[in-house]
Structure 1
Amino acid sequence: MSAVNEISDELRKKVQDKLKQSGMNLVIKRMVDNICSSKDDPRNIDPGEVLQEVYSRGLMSSVLETFNNELPAKSELTRSQFDKLGTIDENESLENRRVDDDEFGNNYADDDRGKRYYLKVETLGGKAFLDHLSHEKNSTTCKSKRFVLHLFFKSQRFKTKPVDCRSNPSFQEEFIIDVGQFESGVGQLLTVKEPLRILIIREDQNRPISGGVIISFNVHDWRSVLLTDNGFESFSLELFGVGSENNVPVGLLNMRITILPCPSEQILEKTMMTQLQLERGIHEESVRNFVTFSKQWMNDFLSIRPGHIFRHVKLSAFDERLASRPISTFLQFPYNADRVFLTPFHAAWFVSLLTNLQNSSNNDSIRNLQSLELTIASKCGTSEDLSILLCSLLLGFGLNAFVALGSEKNANPISWVVTLDNSFNPLFWDPKTSKRFTPVTLTNSENDNETKLNVSKSCMQQKFSHIGCLLNNESFHCNIQSADSVSLVDWNILNPAKWKSMSPKRIAKFPYQSQHRFVLLPARVDCELITARLELGIQELIQEARMQQELSTRWDAITSKLMGQQLATYELQGSTGGSNFNNFFEDVIMKSLPAGYNFKGFHCHSRSTTAKNLFNSCMGDLQCQEVVYCRGEDVQHMIRVSVFPYPENVVSIRIMIGCRFLAV
């Protein structure tokens, strides 16, 4: 038996053993049985449907985690063995493996439901990323900055391994994309107008799970491969920047796209051009209708009351490619929000953990927005982007959620999320902090001084002071009441005398409508490794800081373990907004202290995974300095770090530094 077969058999046996040990085989078997029972004829089960169910439930992530540590290192295999065995990238949403055309031809033959087609997309390296020549010359920067290429098609997501930030980045990956199953042959492939969406992000290796900077976002119509007689095409895709740099070239990406299995018939160029012209004509007509409708609708809104011109109401906004789109099309219904989050409160906490960027538009309600997939992949966005993401997630939980466009008390534009219950009582959600509150409502005849005082003291009501409109992916409501203060507004959006609404059927005809749902990937970070590194790093920094003050440092490992429960309580309070949790921490600490000893502690919340940054942020607080530089008799310090993972490898990091000392 060859070495490759031996390694394959060994891996197969380890996978089977791991699945049995973890009980995952029973879960998958039960899932397949449920699919079989739902079909009239179990023999007609689509393998792609089973795979889709496996990925949507997060089972593939669990399977990979059970035996990830058992896989042989890549350095142990020769290049030929590596190519034949295939690769599994822990960062990919689907299994990224090398396949042969014959495999698809044999396994996916014609049946009563048609043939399933796939795209094999190969990235063959980048060129002419001239803006990053300075990074290449600086070896330190080159190693700390990395490129990551993300690929989107419908609801499928993929990404490459991080590569060094160079002028010619070495993107060398293969992706297998499911195009779909078609009954009427290859001609039906031509009607799939969903393009490949390619995103390149620059990440900081020192902060690998803190998001990155968007370098380029481009779309490519893959259907040109249907014109080839051999089923594949190689080309160089010119990449452009985003936003104001939309027309500025960023670099070139060499690619090869193969349709699998190779179609038995070839699409004529004339047929292709006819289809593209038809799609272009429909899109342009849809855009013209939207522009005409939006102008008329806004004129009607402004004619109701002269003061409406000062209200923050927008029907459209520019996206990352400077295309003017209806704002409602930026929202998408999530595919698996209820799978990756326990409650809507956890979803709001997740959004608050993303990096908040300052909006460049200070004099208007909304100018530039970015698609949801960019916000999720880059883990950052403006307050408007975060509001759109939070609203989409809340819609996935079945809440009656809306993005609210309004202003602060000082008239600065602001956006947030509003949910309405069945009685139209509002609940405000701050996407930056995940805090929620019910606005204090006044009637026009109310003169209760105490109630007005509560309104003036409410910080969040001062922040979200005036409301212009509410919108989501299916509805749009403009406030046409005489008052736009949130404390005076009637929130019954079905009352035409108070709110000017759009028909859902009209919104459904808007251009740029997305037919796919975005998918969130479960967390796959090694929390124990991050915790160990941070604790060791902060311990060294504390010792160095005390050494500069000519103070010795001793550590209490037993009491350090007791502080973890308090960090978990802090995270529960932050992620759910609750406060009624039984807190045994004080009793446990006092019980552990010897007689006559006192305890001091300091807690900090951060997303930084660098010990130095985390320690510096803590030392900015005087209470932390008192703990670190504690002087006295028999002083011992404690350190505890807890890492709480969330989807997309977003983490919430909590640290507690404590000390015990003998009271004098």
Structure 2
Amino acid sequence: MSLPPEKVSELKQIIHNHLLKSGIRGKIREVLAENVRDDQGQSHQSLSEADFLSALQNRGIIDDVMKDLHFYQEAPMDAKNGSPPKHAPDFVNKEITQPKKCKKHNIDPSRCYLFLQVLGGKAFLEHLQEPEPLPGQVCSTFTLYIHFRNQRFHSKPVPCACEPNLEEGFLLEIHRDGKGESNKMADATALLSVSDPVHLVLIKMDTTSETTLVSSYFLDWRTVLSSPSGKTCFAIELMGVGSESKVPAGVLTVSLELYPPLTETLSTDIISTQQSLERKRTAEKERLFLVYAKQWWREFLEIRPSHQSKMVKIFAQDENGVNRPVCSYVHVLRVGRLLETPRQAARFVSLLAHEKAPVVGGGGGGQEQWCTLMAFLCRGKGDCEDHATLLCSLLLGFGLDAYVCVGTKAKGGTHTWVVTRGTDGSITFWESLTAHRYLHQAIDPEAPPLTPQPKPSSPYRTVGCVFNHQTFLANCQPSDAVELCVFDFQNQSCWKAMSEDALKSVCAPGSVSSLPPQPSLCAPSLDPAASSNQLELEMRYLVSEHRKDLELATVWDDHLSYLLSSALSAYELERCTGVSCGNEEFQDAVRRAVPDGHTFKGFPRHFLHRSARRAFATCLRSPFCQEIVSCRGDHVRLAVRARVFVYPENVCAVWLMFACKYRSVL
């Protein structure tokens, strides 16, 4: 049976997508490593292709690849005899062509749904010269993330190209806002009042698993309300982010369809009038707030001329270059059972990588970019402002009196962190990039010279303002030094507050249509045990290959490897709670496992990714790890343990520990 070229290409792409999704390639590498090791142990003949395929079949890996591939015959009727035409069967991945959310049993006939279908991309000119990847080849990919009214979805990764094959469907449920009316069918007028946009975030991931925010777009879906068929199709132009927010990044073709179709549609004039009224109302509220903010700033400068140089940040630009009040970046965020304690929330935020907004060219400071929460979570990394606003939102959700601080660190660089005030008057600083906590005690500059003063424990030098979702306070104390600062926010001689009503008019949820909707966190989908086992197998293979290059044999001590788990768990627990525990039991177990006259060496490392090769290359740059991995001596036994701790959004804390024991020779 022969296939036309387009069907061959389609089959290759389906198999490639399936391999990426199910982790089959890791299993193939594992089988290859074992067979090569067995083959070299028995004879030095090269491993044949037939033997390798037989090993894959015995493991059931070939069956795993084929089980999701289905055949079907297209059913157009032949013009002559009314029977289906005879041709080669097509290969179809049902998971791709039929989005899971479109299954009939998932649709409640009493609810209203919006089916958003992405039909492909074009004009991504940055990738014009990229060649089409071969099946199985690692390449850069695009992933599209969707957020609508607390519902989040994402597409499958597709290879980056000038015309990426972004074809995916998403079923979004539309809720009524009125109390007790969530189960009632919404009519066209009620749907017109739902002004929440669909937030589209396009992320690029390169071959080293580094992510880049390509575009962040807010789609007003209500144009479909004027379509007699309940369905419309159009193209949207995605713009770049940051300094490229005025430059097109590419075009997506999207289709919108309502389920069930409306019995009565609205005219385009009514929809455009509603959108115009919302824009005017938002513009007027923002204009009034800007007038108030200017007057408030003039009053602040009149207190003391030196206030001109203080770090008082009222507005900040998001990834689309839109100026928004900083208070709008914070909201009360409750995450159910995904995070159990405030300290665990701080640990989660610290695991999101720190990276300043990229700037084309040099010239000093980076581009200011306070990302929306959706863009920050999808990208998985951001600047200190993104971390601080997320941590403050989570701490507010846990019931703490939390604020974001804007100031400088000891080296003079602009920085943001979080402060919480206890009911007993205690002040605690939270560093969102590291999850470290510092108890603040102010120095009294008017105390007698011999009076003992507290020593500064935090790395922060000055603080200009603090804010949360409903409060903005500027520091009007004689000195903005953190060590002298009194965090009594009710004291008007120390802190100048903005009007809460003015802030609420532009920062409260639903106050203006320009505010981006705030998503909730997603539960992790990674299996910690499976991820840990996979990473450990890959690390063992890399260590064995490294020692083979040094002409050293590798003998693994499985018992010693198992004992390292308790140490890695203790390290992560200490990062979460700040309390060290379990080290005594680990040391006692190691003493029992290492015979008299033998030496034990261990080397732990922490990572924010699960790439074995990247991690191993980093570890080898340490002389301590190099000494263990390249250990020579009598009766050398090696051990390695990997532990992947999974948090919401599939954020991972990865711990690796290399160890060896050997007989000491005088």
Tell me if both proteins adopt one fold, taking TM over 0.5 as the criterion: yes
Residue 351 in structure 1 maps to residue 349 in structure 2: yes
Question: Which of residues 89, 95, 102 in structure 2 aligns to 1:98?
Answer: 102
Task: Determine the structure 2 residue equivalent to 1:266.
Answer: 265
Residues 398-547 of structure 1 aligned to structure 2 (within 5 Å):
398-446=399-447, 454-455=455-456, 458=457, 461=458, 463-510=459-506, 511=512, 514=515, 516-547=517-548
Describe the SS at the equivalent of 2:524: coil
Task: Determine the structure 2 residue equivalent to 1:160.
Answer: 155
RMSD of Structure 2 on Structure 1 (CA): 3.1
Larger displacement relative to structure 2 (513-522 or 279-288): 513-522
Task: Determine the structure 1 residue equivalent to 2:339.
Answer: 341
Residue-by-residue CA offset, 1:269-310 (whole Å, 9 max, x unaligned): 222222122111101101111111111111111111111111
Q: Aligned pair in 2 of structure 1 residues 86, 189: CA closer, same or farther (>3 Å)?
A: farther
Task: Determine the structure 2 residue equivalent to 1:176.
Answer: 171
Residue-by-residue CA offset, 1:435-491 (whole Å, 9 max, x unaligned): 111124211123567966833xx4xx2x31111111011111111111211121111
Check the 8 A contact 2:278/2:513 in 1, yes or no. no
Residues 184-583 of structure 1 aligned to structure 2 (within 5 Å):
185-204=187-206, 206-207=208-209, 212-336=211-335, 338-358=336-356, 367-446=368-447, 454-455=455-456, 458=457, 461=458, 463-510=459-506, 511=512, 514=515, 516-581=517-582, 583=584
- The Cα of 1:204 is off from its aligned counterpart by 3.4
- The Cα of 1:385 is off from its aligned counterpart by 0.9
Partner letter of residue 126 of structure 1? G
Describe the SS at the equivalent of 1:340: coil
Question: Which of residues 125, 132, 153 in structure 1 aligns to 2:127?
Answer: 132
Check the 8 A contact 2:372/2:516 in 1, yes or no. no
- The Cα of 1:99 is off from its aligned counterpart by 4.6
Check the 8 A contact 1:470/1:476 in 2, yes or no. yes
Describe the SS at the equivalent of 2:265: coil
Describe the SS at the equivalent of 1:561: helix
Distance (whole Å) between structure 2 residues aligned to residue 219 and residue 280 of structure 1:
14
Check the 8 A contact 1:117/1:179 in 2, yes or no. yes
Check the 8 A contact 1:124/1:254 in 2, yes or no. yes
Task: Determine the structure 2 residue equivalent to 1:118.
Answer: 113
Q: Which structure would you say has the larger Rg?
A: 2
Q: Which stretches in structure 2 are left out of the alignment for 5+ residues?
A: 1-62, 76-89, 177-183, 507-511
Describe the SS at the equivalent of 1:120: strand
- The Cα of 1:637 is off from its aligned counterpart by 0.7
Larger displacement relative to structure 2 (302-311 or 439-448): 439-448
What fraction of aligned residue pairs are identical, expressed as a percent? 32
Distance (whole Å) between structure 1 residues aligned to residue 306 and residue 95 of structure 2:
62
Task: Determine the structure 1 residue equivalent to 2:44.
Answer: none
Task: Determine the structure 2 residue equivalent to 1:74.
Answer: 68
Distance (whole Å) between structure 1 residues aligned to residue 367 and residue 399 of structure 2:
26
Distance (whole Å) between structure 2 residues aligned to residue 633 and residue 582 of structure 1:
28
Distance (whole Å) between structure 1 residues aligned to residue 264 and residue 228 of structure 2:
8
Check the 8 A contact 1:600/1:660 in 2, yes or no. yes
- The Cα of 1:327 is off from its aligned counterpart by 0.7
- The Cα of 1:589 is off from its aligned counterpart by 0.9
Task: Determine the structure 1 residue equivalent to 2:53.
Answer: none
Distance (whole Å) between structure 1 residues aligned to residue 453 and residue 250 of structure 2:
58
- The Cα of 1:588 is off from its aligned counterpart by 0.4
Residue-by-residue CA offset, 1:588-642 (whole Å, 9 max, x unaligned): 0111222322211111111232222111211222211221222221111111111
Q: Aligned pair in 2 of structure 1 residues 156, 174: CA closer, same or farther (>3 Å)?
A: same
Describe the SS at the equivalent of 2:424: coil
Distance (whole Å) between structure 2 residues aligned to residue 512 and residue 324 of structure 1:
14
Check the 8 A contact 1:311/1:468 in 2, yes or no. yes
Describe the SS at the equivalent of 1:636: strand
TM-score computed with the length of structure 1 as normaliser: 0.80
Residue-by-residue CA offset, 1:159-214 (whole Å, 9 max, x unaligned): 1111111111112211111111367732121111111111110113553xxx6111
Describe the SS at the equivalent of 2:215: strand
Distance (whole Å) between structure 2 residues aligned to residue 381 and residue 89 of structure 1:
34
Check the 8 A contact 2:143/2:156 in 1, yes or no. yes
Q: Aligned pair in 2 of structure 1 residues 184, 169: CA closer, same or farther (>3 Å)?
A: closer
Larger displacement relative to structure 2 (365-374 or 612-621): 365-374
Task: Determine the structure 2 residue equivalent to 1:149.
Answer: 144
Q: Aligned pair in 2 of structure 1 residues 410, 628: CA closer, same or farther (>3 Å)?
A: closer
Larger displacement relative to structure 2 (170-179 or 506-515): 506-515
Check the 8 A contact 2:118/2:252 in 1, yes or no. yes
Describe the SS at the equivalent of 2:654: strand
- Structure holding more helix per residue: 1
Residue-by-residue CA offset, 1:347-366 (whole Å, 9 max, x unaligned): 11111111111256998999
Partner letter of residue 205 of structure 2? E
Distance (whole Å) between structure 2 residues aligned to residue 650 and residue 522 of structure 1:
10
Q: Which stretches in structure 1 are left out of the alignment for 5+ residues?
A: 1-68, 110-115
Distance (whole Å) between structure 1 residues aligned to residue 549 and residue 629 of structure 2:
12
Aligned length: 574
Check the 8 A contact 1:88/1:97 in 2, yes or no. no
Check the 8 A contact 2:68/2:93 in 1, yes or no. no
Q: Aligned pair in 2 of structure 1 residues 553, 261: CA closer, same or farther (>3 Å)?
A: same
Check the 8 A contact 1:136/1:142 in 2, yes or no. no
Residue-by-residue CA offset, 1:28-78 (whole Å, 9 max, x unaligned): xxxxxxxxxxxxxxxxxxxxxxxxxxxxxxxxxxxxxxxxx9999421464
Describe the SS at the equivalent of 1:275: helix
Distance (whole Å) between structure 1 residues aligned to residue 207 and residue 74 of structure 2:
30
